[in-house]
Amino acid sequence: MAEVTQILNAIERGEPRAAGELLPSVYDELRHLAANMMSHELPGQTLQATALVHEAWLRLVGSEPQTWESKAHFFGAVAEAMRRILVERARRKAYVRHGGGAQRVDVAEVEIAAPLPDDHLLALDEALDRLAEIDPPAAKLIKLRFFAGLSHEQAAKLLGLSRSAADRTWLFARAWLFHQIKKEES
C-alpha cells in the first residue's frame, strides 16, 4: 500500500506519468473488491467484476483530473463508484420496460446464499444516503465493509478509527440502517 500512497502523492504533485501507474498497481485489489461486491448480487448478472472495475475506473478518472487525499479517500471513492454502478443497474432493471419485478431463475443454481434483491439494494442505497447526511464516517464504514468487502479491521484502519470506535460506529450504523429500511417498508 505504500506504493499506492506514493503514486497518489505523485498525482497530487502533478507528475504526468503517475496517473498511468495507479491502475496497474491497484488493479488486483480493485478486482478483488469488485468480485466481493458482485457476490452479493443475484445470479444471472451480465456485469462481471472486471467490467465493474473498468466502469468504476472510468467514472473516477473521467475527463477531469482527480486528486485523492489518501489511500482511504481513493478506495472510498472506488467503493462509492462501484456502489453507484450497481444501484443504477438495479434501478434500470426495476423499470417496467426492462421486465420490472421479473426474476431470471437459473436452474443449475437454485440454492443461493442470501442474494441482495434489487429492491433491497435500492432501499439500502437511499438509507445510506440519509446516513451520510447525519454521520458521514458511519456511512463510509458501511460502504467499505458492505460494498468494498473490506474486513472490519481493514475498514477501521483506512478510516483511522480505533477498534472500539469502529465497533461502536458499525453497531450504530447497522441499527440505524435497519430502522430506516423497516420504516420505508411499512
How far is residue 148's CA from residue 167's CA, in Å, rounded to a whole number?
18
Angle at alpha carbon of residue 143, lines to 110 and 105, rounded to 5°: 15
pLDDT digits (tens, 9 = 90+) for 66-115: 677 777 888 888 888 888 888 888 777 766 555 555 555 443 443 333 45
Q: How far apart are CA 51 and CA 152, in angstroms?
A: 26
Q: Which residue, 184, 89, 72, is CA-closest to 136?
A: 72
Residue 135 contacts residue 150 (beta carbons within 8 Å): no
Q: What is the pLDDT of residue 131?
A: 93
Statement: the pTM of the whole predicted model exceeds 0.75: no
Query: Domain range for residue 145?
Result: 2-185
Rounded to 5 degrees, what are φ and ψ at 3? -60, -40
Number of domains forming the structure of the chain: 1
Query: What would the pLDDT profile of 124-139 be if each residue is shown by its tens digit?
Result: 888 999 999 999 999 9
